[in-house]
Amino acid sequence: MNSIAVSAPAKINLMLDVTGKRTDGFHTLLTVMQSISLSDTVYISANEVESITVECSVPEIPCDFRNIAYKAAVRFYEYSGICDGVHIKIEKNIPSEAGLGGGSADGAAVLFGMNKLYNTGFSLDELCRIGAAVGADIPFCIKGGTSLCRGIGDEFYEIPPLEDCYIVIGKGKGGISTKEAYRRIDAVGFGSDILKDGYDGTIDSVSNIGKNIFEAAADIDDVKIIKKLILNCGAVYSAMSGSGNAVFGLFPNFNAAQNCTNYLKSNGYFSSLCRPLSHGVIEI
């Protein structure tokens, strides 16, 4: 095998709280994450220059050492001891600076794909350990599905999967960097590591656990507007995902979800109609 194509699904945070900050500067979290069908496609192939090269369909995204996919490849080579070169081509569908884990999904896809490309045989758990050194959301993006996560995103606990439903994603112009989002959280203070009872995997029960501490801290006008539009279209629940600024809405009905997606697009917003997934990165 000298090339592989990997689907890299986005994620949403059904709930998210920041519970503290460690001495090494990393923040501790309490979050329920869910993989969704909005995804990037990452192509990984051996190259002849024995270095890491990256190209991306979105010109604004850096393709050098700043790209998380590049960092993941570096870490894979360091961990495996392999000295070689790889080319990474990213077809972006997940908007950046949206709280949807697009960069982490691409990094997870690189680790998964290079493991296949070099036949190194690392388990998913081992890939998660490699990925945790690159980005906090990479381990979840590798495994995917529905998970309760604590720590810096590296402690996973099994919970009921989200029932099949329709998920509408809406995003306005611009975004907020993860660094800036956490700076704002540091200014307002942290929550507690307590998850409310009542979540059983149904979309109705998501409202029992739902909150996103970043939503209030970020105070983004587009988030407020999009959330109101989604709820007015009939969503059972809506919130900002991750550190923002994308908003998701959960719908039991396809027609209502499709109408909402079209309405958001007609008002100039990015929008995508998705379904929940039971997996993370996969070969395609």
Q: Report the distance separating Cα 244 and Cα 8, nearest Å.
A: 19
Q: Report the distance separating Cα 225 and Cα 208, nearest Å.
A: 23
Sheet of 166-171, strands arranged across: 237-240, 247-251, 166-171, 270-274
Active-site pick, 106, 137, 154, 222: 137
3-state secondary structure of 111: helix
Closest CA to 170 of 61, 259, 40, 71: 259
Examine the residue annotation and report whether 137 is marked as an active-site residue of this protein: yes
Examine the residue annotation and report whether 173 is marked as an active-site residue of this protein: no
Which strand (E) or helix (H) includes residue 70? helix 68-80
3-state secondary structure of 10: strand
Task: Confirm if 109 and 150 have CB atoms less than 8 A apart.
Answer: no
Catalytically annotated residues: 11, 137
